[in-house]
Amino acid sequence: MMLEEVDIRPPSERDGGDMWRAARDAGTLDVNTPYSYLLLGKHFGGTCAVAKRGGKTVGFVTGFRPPGKPDTWFVWQIGVDAEARGQGIGRRLLEHVLGRSDNADIRYLEATVSPSNAASRSLFFGLARSLGLDCEISAGFPAELFPDGAHEKEELYRIGPFTYQP
């Protein structure tokens, strides 16, 4: 079967609902409020992306530059539709944001990852490898900080410094 091409672009607030649905359907992501995805689309579109195939949202990444760390892209969430996984879309979402001219000054990527999330680990390790770098892992958010008592710890992954060449 020929798969339709995947188009990746920055989101606007009009993509907020689709990002929320994608997060809900991903299975392993914390589902934030719909409002937060609208907000990310409206105010943080430059460091977020949506992947569309045949008009359908098949993936998204959200992130921002933490205040006080303007050279760092903190990846908040990334999700790819279960049927579209393993086709390089997750990697392309990351590379798309890094490849934007407005983001040419980004030198570090940070994300927090649960130790049991093999796909997410591979995604960030693979990106680090392609940049010729290691992915440094340190304590992120310990489990006891999460108020519902049912959340695995989140380790902090850090890649950099790099100058991304699209």
Shortest gap between Cβ of 128 and ligand COA (angstroms)?
9
DSSP per position, 14-44 = GGHHHHHHHHHHHSSS----HHHHHHHHHHS
Residue 62: Cβ-neighbour burial (10 angstroms; 0-12, 13-18, 19+): buried
Q: Which of residues 11-50 bind ligand COA (CB under 6 A)?
A: 26, 28-29
The whole-angstrom separation of Cα 129 and Cα 151 is 29
For tokens 């933490």, the residue is 66
Q: How far is CA 58 from the centre of its chain?
A: 13
Among 122, 134, 143, 152, binds ligand COA (CB under 6 A): 122
Shortest gap between Cβ of 80 and ligand COA (angstroms)?
4
R_g of the chain computed on alpha carbons:
15
Q: Which is nearer to ligand COA, 105 or 119 (CB)?
A: 119
Q: Which is nearer to ligand COA, 41 or 154 (CB)?
A: 154
User: By rule CB under 6 A, what string of x and - marks binding of each residue 79-108 to ligand COA?
Assistant: xx----xxxxxxx-----------------
Q: Which is nearer to ligand COA, 59 or 105 (CB)?
A: 59
The whole-angstrom separation of Cα 160 and Cα 147 is 31
Buried b (16+ CB within 10 A) or exposed e, 106-123: bebbbbbbbeebeebbeb
User: By rule CB under 6 A, what string of x and - marks binding of each residue 63-82 to ligand COA?
Assistant: --------------xxxx--
Considering the rule CB under 6 A, would residue 62 count as an interface residue with ligand COA? no
Considering the rule CB under 6 A, would residue 57 count as an interface residue with ligand COA? no
Residues 6+ apart with CB under 8 A from 55: none
Among 123, 128, 131, 159, binds ligand COA (CB under 6 A): 123
Interacting residues with ligand COA (CB under 6 A): 26, 28-29, 77-80, 85-91, 117-120, 122-123, 126
